Amino acid sequence: MRIIVIGFGVIGQNFTKLLLSKSVDLYNQYGMKPRIVACVDSKGSVINQSGIDLKKLLDIKKNRQTVGEYNLHQTQQDVLQIIESVDAEVVLELTPTNLENGEPGLSHIITAMKSGKNVITVNKGPLSVAFPSLIELAKFNGIFFRFSGTVGGGTPILEFAKRCLKGDRIVSFRGILNGTTNYILSKMEERLSFTEALKDAQIRGYAETAPALDIEGLDAAAKLVIMSNWLMDMKVTLEDVERIGISKVTTNDVIDSEKRGNSIKLIASCENKNLIVKPLEVSKLDPICVNGTLNAVTFSLEYSGEQTIIGRGAGGIETASAVLRDMIEIRENIVTV
């Protein structure tokens, strides 16, 4: 299986490490011999049709900041041209999320699909602005499109709902889809103010220096859009989500809700086709009421009741493991001897 990697940040590098450490397992368990044949980061690229040396790739990235230094004399090519022209079964789109217009990820994915390559992404941008059309394009071109890592990091929330609940029907779902805001709200239960809790999250690397994406509920909304399209057969984008962030939540609100045996959580919900992200009081006895950076989703099913899945919603190695899972699934689908 030949792979083109677009974007070589934390997740791309962790994925490469995973390939290195799991190569024997992957061959023995799934008959897979994955090779990275092209790798592009923001400053350069490297192409090698017979497979890039993964250890060298990681070293070069670490020591010289760009994979473009892998071959001293390699001519740098345009990324869309690489996606189009390099022979490969899968394109991994791992560039940073842009919820405005999904770019550059959106163009990468479209180009990959049009050239008949399967696509795996962890980039919420393209999916939250253009999910319905991307699914259509994937179907039209007969390729597999997977994006496990966009929701729940390494926790297989999408697979759980799609594969484990067959024969039943998801009536509605709600969840904590953003670890950063959940960490901040948990800290506020320990009597920190919103500003202090945010600062603490930034020090620990959970929140960005420009944290609006998390705080204003945009990240949770993007995940809600992905889940609603994929699991509920809706055709929605980010604009269809009613959204309130957590910046107005005060320590007093948190204390008051505790008196009622509740916690305030940023809840994303899909109920009766309404998509909402907003701070809500949740009973501390509700399985969804998890603390710290955890994510949790409860699905309400027609026959088998409520089912909750909980796990870490982020992390480089965790999300890289979601990419690997997608790759194994695609491999099992395309190789049906």
Residues that bind a second copy (CB under 8 A): 18, 22, 26, 153-156, 159-160, 163-168, 285, 287, 290-291, 294, 296, 301, 303-312, 315, 317-318, 320-322, 324-325, 327-329, 336
DSSP assignment of 184-204, as one string? HHHHHHTT--HHHHHHHHHHT
Residue identified by tokens 């909304």 is 221
Residue 332: CB minimum distance to a second copy, A: 9
SS3 label, residue 174? strand
d(CA 337, CA 3): 21
User: What values do phi and psi take at 30, rounded to 5?
Assistant: -125, 0
Residue 106: CB minimum distance to a second copy, A: 26
Residue 168: CB minimum distance to a second copy, A: 5
Which residue among 61, 117, 124, 223 is the active-site one? 223
Structure tokens at 202: 């930034």
d(CA 186, CA 144): 38
SS3 label, residue 258? helix
Annotated active-site residue 223? The verdict is yes
Q: What CA–CA distances, in Å, run from 28 to 106, 238, 311, 329?
A: 35, 42, 28, 15
* 94 versus 275: smaller Cβ distance to a second copy: 94
Residue 74: CB minimum distance to a second copy, A: 31
Residue 133: CB minimum distance to a second copy, A: 24
* 18 versus 246: smaller Cβ distance to a second copy: 18
* 125 versus 153: smaller Cβ distance to a second copy: 153
* 21 versus 81: smaller Cβ distance to a second copy: 21
SS3 percent helix, strand, coil of the chain, rounded to 5, is 45, 20, 35
* 9 versus 107: smaller Cβ distance to a second copy: 9
Q: Enumerate the active-site residues.
A: 223
